[in-house]
Chain A
Amino acid sequence: MIKVQQLTQIYKSGKGIFDLNFEIKEGEVFGYLGPNGSGKTTTIRNIMGFANANEGRVTIRGLDCRKDTAELRKIIGYLPGEIAFFDNMTGFEFLKFVGDMHLMKSNERRDKLIDQFELETEGKIRKMSKGMKQKLGIIATFMIDPEIYILDEPTSGLDPFMQNEFMELVDKEKSRGKTIMMSSHIFEEVERSCDRAGIIREGRLVTIEDLKSLKAMKSREFIVTLNTKEDAQKLEKSGLETHAMGKRKIKVHVGENFDGFIKVLSALKVLNLDVQQRSLEDIFMTYYGKNGGQHE
């Protein structure tokens, strides 16, 4: 449905995106993962037809994203990564403005979303907090009920409760058969509802994987704090892959061997057990092997 072909856009700084090729299928939720500054937003700017690519193109249902914009905008809902509104408007005036620009016929969906996200629509946008602005942006995108969603870091600025609320909204749209592209630099966000994810780094597409294979790649690591030094030594000698982080604090790489890990722990006095937070970098590391020698 969304087809990115040989897409290249290079900025004066030499950064940019280089020869991107991928396709997003109809009804799919596609995660677009990459660290900050990796080219996610540049890709999206080209999908939205804001920027001119140096080479290549993006098409949606065969229509050119840069040229057939008026036609495509009827079916696309876009949530910008850095949201800037018309700051002289109130939240409500802004939603009304966007709705009118999209020739939205009914306000029912809009009002339901306002309730769901507990948005206060009366105040001037310029005085809203970052989270409040993000909610406003989400409502402005979802209320027009598009067929395709292009969401650039949609949950940034939201508190965990609202993040959850948002992910439920995405799941609901997915079940309604909508096509969704969602960029993020947080794996967990993509993990929850995406079917496939593309990983971009320094402007190049590293891989496109099913979420299942990506999950398998996640390094499963726990940080165990033990009561005594002796217990710590026992854990290190247990045959598990360990890495001492302090006298009684040990990182254990568990992999798939949960059972073995639990059995070893059961003989020890464990004071604390933490799940190691996995960053995108870790996933790159897993993908490329520990030394990361193939990064460039």
Chain B
Amino acid sequence: MNKTLFFASLKANWKLWLGMFLVLLMYISMLIGMYDPENAKGMEAIVATLPPAIVSAFGFNAIGYDLTNHIGTYLYGFLFLIFPLIYTVTVSNKLIARHIDRGSMVYLLATPNTRKKIVLTQAAFLFSSIIALLILSIAMGLLVSEMMFPGMLDIDKYLLLNLVTVAVHLAICGIAFLASCIFSESKNSLMVGVGIPLIFLMFRMLSSVGDKLSGLKYLSLFSFIDVPKIFSNPGYAWWSSGLLLLMTIILLLISVRIFDKKSMNI
């Protein structure tokens, strides 16, 4: 890994990172604050005012009403998916494809570093920054819960849910990074690197709307974040995370190889 490049990437992307973190922090605090242990019906009342299709699309289907379920339902149905996703797809494209498209890749490749080292450094930045974003957000969720409702969060379940969520985000990261390595034009890299994760998200939302579309869930990585299943079956959380991590590693290895062999017109 090349430290100079790592810090240059950090400098180019920290604002977006911070933005996403603050947005997540806001939603985490807001949604946890909305939990009312005395009168969970208040939440149900809000949900009841929304059209049923929207309620299920955003995963707001009530599945029991303790704090852990509340978080799982309202945060992990959409918000905790979309904001890290925005970070992932934007940064993935910027780290490789955009440099090739613009020609600034020259200034990375013309230095005494192998292509492998360059691409691995960029991957290291991408993965470590998304992991940092998620872990800090998860920690903030824990902190806010304990401050507002001490002892009410089932920490084991909460961590299992996040294990799967992090694993899904890493796999998505792998896809976006691969797209960035394959395509030499930013617009193509974005089309695939943003398109596939967005389609996954759309499929997940559509699949929970009605039975007709429920088959779509098999076409989306986000379906691994199956809150009731994770809470009732810890084994599922472990093996699905393992599977997703394996997938991430394979995607990363392919990305490195493609970048190493690629012919660039820069």
Contact = CB atoms under 8 A, between A and B. Distances in A.
A70 B110 contact: no
Contact of A73 (B4, B11, B112): B112
B104 interface: yes
A85 B110 contact: no
B203 to A, nearest CB: 35
B266 A73 contact: no
Given A101-B4, A101-B5, A69 B109 contact: yes
A80 B108 contact: no
Interface residues of A, number: 29
Q: Which of B8, B12, B106, B115 has the most CB of A within 10 A?
A: B106
A22 B108 CA distance: 28
B4 A100 contact: yes
B113 A80 contact: no
A241 to B, nearest CB: 45
Contacts of B263: 50-52
A69 B114 contact: yes
A78 interface: yes
A70 B112 contact: yes
A86 B12 contact: yes
A157 to B, nearest CB: 15
A48 B108 CA distance: 12
Nearest to A85: B104
B103 interface: yes
A45 B265 CA distance: 7
Contacts of B12: 86, 88
Interface string B65-106: 000000000000000000000000000000000000011101
A49 B262 CA distance: 10
A210 interface: no
Contact of B110 (A52, A73, A84): A73
Interface in A83-121: 83-89, 97-98, 100-103
B112 A80 contact: no
A50 B264 contact: yes
A138 to B, nearest CB: 14
B2 interface: yes
A71 B113 CA distance: 8
Contacts of A103: 112
Contacts of B114: 69-70
Nearest to B261: A52
Contacts of B106: 50, 78, 80, 84
B4 A84 contact: no
B107 A50 contact: no
A230 interface: no
A76 B110 contact: yes
A51 B103 contact: no
Contacts of B39: none
Given A51-B263, A101-B4, A84 B109 contact: no
A102 B108 CA distance: 10
Interface in B248-266: 261-266
Interface in B128-150: none
A97 B261 CA distance: 25
A26 interface: no
A188 interface: no
B49 interface: no
B265 A102 contact: no
Nearest to B11: A88
B11 A101 contact: no
Contact of B108 (A45, A49, A52, A101): A101
Contacts of A140: 107
A16 to B, nearest CB: 11
B103 A101 contact: no
Interface in B1-32: 2, 4-5, 8, 11-12
A84 B104 contact: yes
A82 interface: yes
12 contacts: A49-B109, A50-B263, A50-B265, A73-B110, A73-B113, A84-B102, A84-B104, A86-B104, A89-B8, A101-B4, A101-B111, A101-B113
Given A70-B113, A101-B5, A101-B113, 9 more contacts: A45-B264, A51-B265, A52-B261, A52-B262, A78-B106, A80-B103, A85-B107, A86-B104, A100-B4
Which 9 A-B pairs give the minimum distances between C-beta atoms? A84-B103, A52-B263, A101-B111, A100-B4, A73-B112, A84-B102, A84-B104, A70-B114, A78-B110
Interface of A: 45, 48-52, 69-71, 73-74, 76, 78, 80, 82-89, 97-98, 100-103, 140
